[in-house]
DNA sequence: AACCAGGACACAA
DNA sequence: TTGTGTCATGGT
């Protein structure tokens, strides 16, 4: 039998917590002096990297921590993933620059809604919009006395009932009707997010793209960051720039050709390669 | 102060 | 199939 605890320690090799939580796949983590503060589902949690381990702190005692190890993917053998990468220079440099970068396994609705808000927005702005959304329409969660209040990510049913004007007040602009309509489609069961995990990559993508405000890029983000399809390869402006400048520096390539290249070049874990290139481009190359 | 940001969509050719 | 204008908002 197991005892409920406020803290847990997970031994991990090659886990760069800062790169993982700060690389633009999730938008609610805040790095402070005492660690990374965030919310997983309805559980506020603080994370710390300490000598080959991740330490987790919860306000309420937890009987089991599977919800967190699943989210963080601490059980993943990163070396096995990296071993499937093609041995090219740019990807090698990207991996060397941020080894330990991981992909999270996020809750599908939060991930979907967040990325609907992400289009042509800088990551700092996405974070601000998501924070406002949670603050205004999420549920208040219990936290330690004295610490600032924490909110859950609002459910699809909740957001479906929010007026477009109130959504726009969260600074999301033209994305407001997209979020509202997608929330309604999910809340009504018109699209079953839970059923997507049992589908093929192509099948799940086709289902997501039906939602208003969800095109191929956002669909691939959700497929990669929430459902764990390792071959999903989101192509955004940073990835286009990375492919153009790092792989084809001589001749100008169209976006379509770069996309075609990515579909065959990076292998079964292309999504991981994508995240390394994305983070490498944003932090090292500029 | 222009330029651009983890795009999608309607419409053109 | 591939190219262009439009849609808010604010960081750099």
Which bases along strand C come within 7 Å of a protein CB atom? 1-3, 7-12
Is CATH 1.10.340.30 the classification given to domain A108-225? yes
pLDDT tens, residue by residue, A209-266? 999 999 999 999 999 999 999 999 999 999 999 999 999 999 999 999 999 999 999 9
Q: Name which CATH class applies to A79-97+228-286.
A: mainly alpha
Q: How far is the CA of A126 from the C1' of C9 (A)?
A: 11
pLDDT tens, residue by residue, A17-59? 999 999 999 999 999 999 999 999 999 999 999 989 999 999 9
Nearest nucleotide over every DNA/RNA strand to the A116 CA, judged by C1'? B7
| Mean local confidence (pLDDT), A107-131 | 98
Percent of chain A with pLDDT over 90: 95
pLDDT for A1 equals 60
Is CATH 3.30.310.40 the classification given to domain A5-76? yes
| CB of A255 nearer than 7 A to strand B | no
Q: Is the pTM of this model over 0.95?
A: yes
Report the mean per-residue pLDDT for chain A: 97
The rounded distance, in Å, linking the Cα atoms of A218 and A262 is: 17
Q: Read off the pLDDT band of A197 (50, 70, 90).
A: very high
Q: Are A199 and A241 in contact (CB under 8 A)?
A: no
| Mean local confidence (pLDDT), A106-113 | 98
Q: Read off the pLDDT band of A108 (50, 70, 90).
A: very high
pLDDT tens, residue by residue, A125-163? 999 999 999 999 999 998 888 888 999 999 999 999 999
Nearest nucleotide over every DNA/RNA strand to the A254 CA, judged by C1'? C2
Of A121, A217, A241, A250, the active-site residue reads A217
Domain boundaries, chain A: 5-76, 79-97+228-286, 108-225
| Mean local confidence (pLDDT), A184-212 | 98
SS (H, E, C) chain A: CCCCEEEEEEECCCCCHHHHHCCCCCCCCEEECCEEEEEECCEEEEEEEECCEEEEEEEEEECCCHHHHHHHCCCCCHHHHHCCCCCCHHHHHHHHHCCCCCCCCCCHHHHHHHHHCCCCCCHHHHHHHHHHHHHHHCCEECCCCCCCCEECCCCHHHHHCCCHHHHHCCCCHHHHHHHHHHHHHHHCCCCCCHHHHHCCHHHHHHHHHCCCCCCHHHHHHHHHHCCCCCCCCCCCHHHHHHHHHHHCCCCCCCHHHHHHHHHHHCCCCHHHHHHHHHHHHHHHHC
């Amino acid at each position: 039998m197991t005892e409920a605890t406020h803290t847990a320690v997970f031994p991990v090799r090659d886990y760069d917590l800062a790169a993982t939580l700060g690389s633009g796949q999730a938008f609610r983590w805040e790095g402070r002096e005492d660690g990374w503060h965030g919310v997983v589902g309805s559980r506020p949690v603080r994370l710390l990297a300490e000598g080959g381990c991740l330490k987790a702190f919860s306000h309420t005692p937890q009987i089991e921590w599977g919800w967190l190890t699943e989210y963080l993917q601490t059980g993943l053998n990163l070396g096995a993933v990296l071993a499937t990468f093609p041995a090219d220079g740019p990807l090698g440099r990207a991996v060397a620059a941020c080894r330990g970068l991981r992909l999270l396994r996020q809750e599908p609705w939060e991930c979907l809604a967040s990325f609907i808000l992400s289009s042509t927005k800088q990551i700092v702005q996405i974070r601000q919009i998501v924070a406002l959304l949670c603050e205004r329409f999420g549920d208040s969660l219990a936290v330690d006395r004295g610490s600032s209040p924490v909110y859950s990510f609002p459910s699809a049913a909740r957001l479906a009932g929010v007026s477009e004007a109130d959504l726009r007040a969260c600074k999301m602009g033209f994305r407001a009707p997209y979020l509202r309509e997608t929330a309604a489609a999910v809340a009504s069961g018109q699209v079953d997010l839970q059923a997507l995990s049992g589908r093929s990559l192509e099948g799940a993508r086709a289902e997501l793209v039906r939602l208003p405000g969800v095109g191929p890029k956002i669909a691939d983000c959700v497929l990669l960051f929430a459902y764990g399809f390792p071959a999903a390869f989101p192509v955004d402006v940073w990835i286009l720039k990375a492919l153009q400048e790092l792989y084809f520096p001589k001749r100008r390539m169209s976006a379509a050709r770069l996309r075609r290249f990515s579909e065959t070049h990076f292998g079964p874990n292309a999504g991981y390669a994508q995240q390394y290139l994305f983070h490498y481009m944003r932090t090292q190359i500029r």
